[in-house]
Amino acid sequence: MDYVVGLDVGGTTMKGGLVTRDGEVTAFEGRPTGREEGPQAVVEAVRAYSGELVELGTARFGAPPAGIGLAVPGIVTASTAVYAANIGWRNVPASAFVPEGIPTRLGHDVQTGGLAESVLGAGREADDFLFLPIGTGIAGAVIIKGEPYGGARGWGGEIGHAPVWPTGEKCACGQVGCLETYASASAVARRFETRTGRTATAKEVVALAAAGDQVAAQVFGEAVEALSISLATYVLLLDPSVIVLGGGLGEAGRVLFDPLEEQLAGRLAFRDAPPLRQAALGMRAGMLGAALLGWRAAGAFDVGRGWSLDVLRGGRVS
Amino acid sequence: MDYVVGLDVGGTTMKGGLVTRDGEVTAFEGRPTGREEGPQAVVEAVRAYSGELVELGTARFGAPPAGIGLAVPGIVTASTAVYAANIGWRNVPASAFVPEGIPTRLGHDVQTGGLAESVLGAGREADDFLFLPIGTGIAGAVIIKGEPYGGARGWGGEIGHAPVWPTGEKCACGQVGCLETYASASAVARRFETRTGRTATAKEVVALAAAGDQVAAQVFGEAVEALSISLATYVLLLDPSVIVLGGGLGEAGRVLFDPLEEQLAGRLAFRDAPPLRQAALGMRAGMLGAALLGWRAAGAFDVGRGWSLDVLRGGRVS
């Protein structure tokens, strides 16, 4: 049976899978990138892992994969990993990550996750939407006509570093008042610790806020307010039909969605707000998007659009 | 010779022209829409004017036009003028604006101007850019792969009402801290008058600022600062290759471009800013874009890309 290898390369972990043309998904446990040993070690770790996945697939399906897709961080084109701050590599060609002779395509990590949500996930019914994973950092995938759009050079989607309070707090990126510095999971944890001296994860801060802790409620409230400002700007500029929230904080549920919906509507005077929706694919979005890129590398651009979500849910994890 | 009619319908004035397949432009003087007599009167005025242009074209070229394009304000699809606040119409079909039997296409006014700048003007060499006319109000055309992009329902481009200072001044639109309420030509004039009691046009405020008037410099400086915040957000989100400024204030020249370039660069810590460029087509962008829509109504989608700018400059004005 035809299949591809999908590989989601994060800063610290990479997640691989085998995905058939009909949407049978075999996802594997994550594996460390070993980035503490430098960028060359990460390239070798990716190459070793992709080689193993090719061998596993060949043993199972009787042939090498039709293609390989890789989601990688930083600046990336379809054929080159140009730069990643958290890994340190520069201009690594796609061929360096994979065994010889298999068509390969690279994609930006968040954009590749957005592609998966567009084709298979919460954006299935939408052509134009924002995919916004809220994790350690914040970056978005601008989905236009079903496809992630990166702008002139592919550097777009940096909504996490667009200013929400232009005279606000200094962000680690060097700019001032960025969304990320108020609303990322690490920002929520950091700002709670600054005010209380207590350490807590973002999830714990959200739970404390729901339980009536005033400082937690204030910190979480400022995160929601910052998000509502950024989303209002996005809506006015790009008129999405839906906003898909993902990542750790994006999965906080009604405790996030209720106040965010209310504040976003309150910031839009002459138009309504699009609905907010939770991402459907969770941590697997990157790997599944990478598999779709693998199919595109093999020349198959429509694979995935016909899969039922049940097929995805039924995918076994080995 | 093949030609089309292009008609730019503004709130108070409409501008018509005849444009041949080779880019020979005959532009006519503006004519009032008569909106003080209600939306139906405007529709009739447009229809009368388009009828005259068809007759003029037929007399000159020996045949009716291949198509008609109209740029109209408000919410619009290719076949219907859905709503315009400044005129008051609702759901006017394209056929109501033109003589029978000629293929017709409508476009949003700013997006149609952006199409003209993309195909013929300052965005010729760029696929992905922002066209931002700064006039009485502010709206932008998001150009993606050479074409204006309006989002899921075509309501996008409202950068003038995206918040720059979320706790700032109340905007006429009902929202708070919108770009337009600081940086439009009318905002600059209004804010100068509020602080000094003196009336002056935006152009005069800019001249006063350049001549050392402190209040004028402050008002104009705040407009530039607001613009730099909005443009930083746009750049981070959509990575345009150039930003094209138009409209009355956008043509202020170096006195605007110099501080705006500096401040925009200052708000981008981890990437460079795209160049700012002045719009090339001035007040004619809407009519020329409408003519391109007329060619598209006629089934000719590539007309305009090959025209030389000299052809445009040489277009005679009757």
pLDDT of A250-278, one tens digit each? Answer: 989 999 999 999 999 999 999 999 999 99
Residue A152: list chain B partners with CB under 8 A.
126-129, 239-241, 274
**How far A82 CA lies from chain B's nearest CA (Å)?**
14
Residue A128 sits at the chain B interface (C-beta within 8 Å): yes
Chain B 146-205, residues with CB within 8 Å of chain A CB atoms: 149-159, 161-166, 173-176
- Give the gyration radius of chain B's Cα atoms: 20
Q: Are residues B204 and B107 in the same domain?
A: no
Q: Is B11 on the interface with A (CB under 8 A)?
A: no
Cα–Cα distances in angstroms (integers) from residue B109 to residues B164, B207, B232, B247, B298, in the given order: 24, 29, 24, 13, 20
Closest to B239 (Cβ–Cβ): which among A128, A129, A156?
A156
Interface contact flag, B232 A274, Cβ < 8 Å: no
Q: Across the interface, do A156 and B268 touch by the CB < 8 Å criterion?
A: no
C-alpha B12, offset from chain centre = 14
Q: Both tokens of residue B16?
A: 């018509």
CATH number of residue A264's parent domain: 3.30.420.40
Cβ atoms within 10 Å of B145's Cβ, excluding its own: 11
Residuewise pLDDT in 10s, chain B (318 residues):
699 999 999 988 999 999 999 999 999 989 999 999 999 999 999 999 999 999 999 999 999 999 999 999 999 999 999 998 889 999 999 999 999 999 999 999 999 999 999 999 999 999 999 999 999 899 999 999 999 999 999 999 999 999 999 999 999 999 999 999 999 999 999 999 999 999 999 999 999 999 999 999 999 999 999 999 999 999 999 999 999 999 989 989 999 999 999 999 999 999 999 999 999 999 999 999 999 999 999 999 999 988 876 545 544 433
Of B142, B161, B165, the CB nearest to A166: B165
**Domain presence at residue A237:** yes
Q: What is the mean pLDDT of residues A177-197?
A: 97
Q: Is the same domain home to A223 and A254?
A: yes
Residue contact A236–B159, C-beta within 8 A: yes
Same domain, yes or no: B259 and B167: yes
Burial of A100 (0-12, 13-18, 19+ CB in 10 A): exposed
In a domain, A122, yes or no: no
Nearest 10 degrees: Cα torsion A127, A133, A137, A141: -10
* Residue ranges of B 31-90 with Cβ closer than 8 A to chain A: none
Same domain, A221 and A264: yes
B177 and B233, same domain (yes or no): yes
Residue whose structure tokens are 């409202």? B158
Is residue A194 domain-shared with residue A215, that is, in the same domain? yes
User: Which DSSP symbol is given to A38?
Assistant: -
Selecting from B156, B236, B241 the residue whose C-beta is nearest the C-beta of A239 gives: B156
CB contact under 8 A, A267 and B155: no
Q: In this structure, are residues B9 and B17 in contact, taking their beta carbons and an 8 Å threshold? A: no
Q: Which residues are registered as beta bridge partners of B19?
A: B4, B25
CB atoms A152 and B234 under 8 Å = no
Residues A178 and A227 in one domain: yes
Domain count for chain B: 2
Please determine, for the modelled complex, whether the ipTM score is greater than 0.90.
Answer: yes
Q: What residues form DSSP beta bridges with B102?
A: none
In a domain, residue A135? The reply is no
Domain hosting residue A264, numbered range:
150-278
Nearest to B127 among A129, A152, A157 (CB): A152
